[in-house]
Amino acid sequence: MSLRSYIITRIILALPMIFILLAVIFFILRIIPGDPVLAILGGKAPIEVIQQKRHELGLDKPVIVQFFDYIRGVITGNLGTSTLTNRSVFEELKDRFPATLELTIFSFLIVLVIGLFWGAESAWRKDEGLDIVARVYSLLLYAIPVFWFGLILQLIFASYLRWLPVGGRISAVTNFKIVTGLYVLDALLSKDWRGLLDVLRYLTLPSITLGLVISSVFLRMVRNNTVLMLSKDFVKAARARGLRKKIVLYGHAVRNAFVPIFTIMGMEFAALLAGAILTETTFSWPGIGSYLVMKIRYRDFPAIQGTIVFFALFIVVISIIIDIVNALVDPRVRY
């Protein structure tokens, strides 16, 4: 199979998956009693008014009709209108996505640094002090709920020590031009150094919380895969030839463990998105995760569905990228 046809097949295979996710979420949400009209007007407006509004929003149509209306919308790029704010869900997600992306990128950097370097080093010194600490670390952080960890960090660094802000994304006084929505990048673009410092301070606690918690699995995987590679003959040979540690470890062992490590990296990125739901809620971070929690509370169906479609697309895209990169690196994957 050529690379191009592999990519095309991979994308076509992803389509029914997205459809199924959409269907599952759509019907799950429709089983819940209650709808957004009730959430807003319940107990206030006369019942006739409520029924009329339901009719206007198409909430009294059969569920299956609503489902196909919705699918038609998604195909044309219309994720619907939030019943809570009357805005296009796509617009709302677009507003909030940069926050989540920024948090995810910074957490991911933390995950990468900890995972790759510590993982490789402890594989090199298997069963020595550093390795044992790494294993304890990954066991322990795996067992810590991300929201609790966030609370504890908040308590120590924001409440008691007051080094860092409690929550939010930017100070009221900081004012630079928002272009990309990634505040760090925007501050850099407008050369507002004080603003940069400000947004970095807000970013610190949430990204450390998320990054450390997610790093535990990645660290372990990198270590295990590197250990495996270090036991392979060609690595042993390289070692025997007297090559420097840096070259043997990173040039041979880690590089040859690339496919599994890269696959896990992709999965960890997806895990970061899920972790973002609880982290964003803990730190008032105005991203997609806290958006979803808020919208579930109000049963804002179009918004919840839109967010889920968004999550699904994002994850599918990541898994496609992983497969493609792996196929590029290791042609055997294609078959």
Partner 1 sequence: MHCLIVAAFSADFIVVGTTDKIRTLDPANCYDYFSSNILQNILAGPVDYKLGTAEIIPWLFEKWSVSDDGLTYTFSIRKGAMFEDGTPIDAEVFRWSWERVLRLNGDPAFLLSDVIDKIEVADQYTLKVKLKYKFSAFVSVLGYTVAFPVNPKATPENQFLDGAPLASGPYRITEWQRDVRIVLEANPKYFGPAPKVPKIVIQFFENSAQLRMALETGQIDIAYRHMDPRDILDLKKMESQLGIKVYLGTSPQIRYLVVNVKQPPFDNVYVRQVLSYAVDRDVITKTVFSDLAKPLYSMIPMGWWSHIDAMPQHDVKTAVEILKKAGYSSSNPLQIDLWYTPSHYGSTEADVAQLLKRSLEETKAIKVNIKYAEWSTYVEYFLNGTMGLFLLGWYPDYLDPDDYVWPFLSESGAKSLGSFYSNMEVENLMMQARGVESIEERTKLYEQVQKFLAQDVPYIPLWQGFADCEAKANISGIILEPTQIFRYYVLEKK
Partner 2 sequence: MVKNKSFLSERIGEFVRDLTGSGTGRLTIVGSSILIFFIVLAIFAPYIAPYDPTEKVGLSLEPPSRQFWFGTDNLGRDILSRVIYGSRIALSISFMGVAIAFLIGVPLGLFSGYLGGWVDRILTLIMDAMYIFPGLVLAIAIAAVLGPGVINISLSIAVVYAPTYFRIIRNQVASVKSELYVEAARALGAKNWEILLKYIFPNVLPSVVVVLSMNLADALMTEAGLSFLGLGIAPPTPDWGFDLSSGQRFVLSRAWWGILFPGLAIVFAALGFSMFSEGINELLNPTIRERR
Return the one option of partner 1, partner 2, none that residue 40 interacts with (CB less than 5 to 8 A, by type).
partner 1
Is residue 71 within the footprint of partner 2 (CB under 8 A)? Answer: no
Is residue 316 within the footprint of partner 2 (CB under 8 A)? Answer: yes
Task: Indicate the angle between helix axes 129-142 and 193-230, nearest 10 degrees.
Answer: 110
What per-residue string of b and e applies to 184-221 under the rule 16 or more CB within 10 Å gives b?
bbbbbeeebeebbebbeebbbbbbbbbbbbbbbbbbbb
Please check whether residue 77 is in contact with residue 178, taking contact to mean a CB–CB distance below 8 angstroms: no
Reading the block at residue 119, the tokens are 């993982």
Write the CB contacts of 23 (distance below 8 Å, at least 6 apart in sequence). Answer: 67
Q: State CA 53 to chain mean position distance.
A: 36
Number of residues that bind partner 2 (CB under 8 A): 45
Is residue 11 within the footprint of partner 2 (CB under 8 A)? Answer: no
Please check whether residue 1 is in contact with residue 9, taking contact to mean a CB–CB distance below 8 angstroms: yes
Closest approach, Cβ 97 to partner 2, in A, equals 16
Helices (H) and strands (E) in the chain, counts: 16, 0
Is residue 168 within the footprint of partner 1 (CB under 8 A)? Answer: yes
Return the one option of partner 1, partner 2, none that residue 194 interacts with (CB less than 5 to 8 A, by type).
partner 1
Write the CB contacts of 52 (distance below 8 Å, at least 6 apart in sequence). Answer: none
Is residue 109 within the footprint of partner 2 (CB under 8 A)? Answer: no
Q: Which of 45, 105, 189, 274 is close enough to bind partner 2 by CB under 8 A?
A: 274
Give the x-and-dash track for 146-175 against partner 2 (CB under 8 A): xxx--xx--x---x----------------
Is residue 43 within the footprint of partner 1 (CB under 8 A)? Answer: yes
Is residue 161 within the footprint of partner 1 (CB under 8 A)? Answer: no
Is residue 330 within the footprint of partner 1 (CB under 8 A)? Answer: no
Q: Which is nearer to partner 2, 98 or 150 (CB)?
A: 150
What per-residue string of b and e applies to 316-334 under the rule 16 or more CB within 10 Å gives b?
bebbbebbbbbbeeeeeeb
Reading the block at residue 129, the tokens are 């002090």
Q: Which residues bind partner 1 (CB under 8 A)?
A: 32-36, 38-47, 49-50, 52-53, 56, 84-87, 92, 95-96, 154, 158-159, 162, 165-174, 178, 194, 197-198, 201, 281-284, 286, 290-291, 294, 296-299
Q: Which residues bind partner 2 (CB under 8 A)?
A: 16-18, 20-21, 24-25, 28-29, 31-32, 127, 139-140, 142-148, 151-152, 155, 159, 224, 227-228, 270-271, 273-274, 277-278, 281, 292-293, 296, 304, 308, 311-312, 315-316, 319
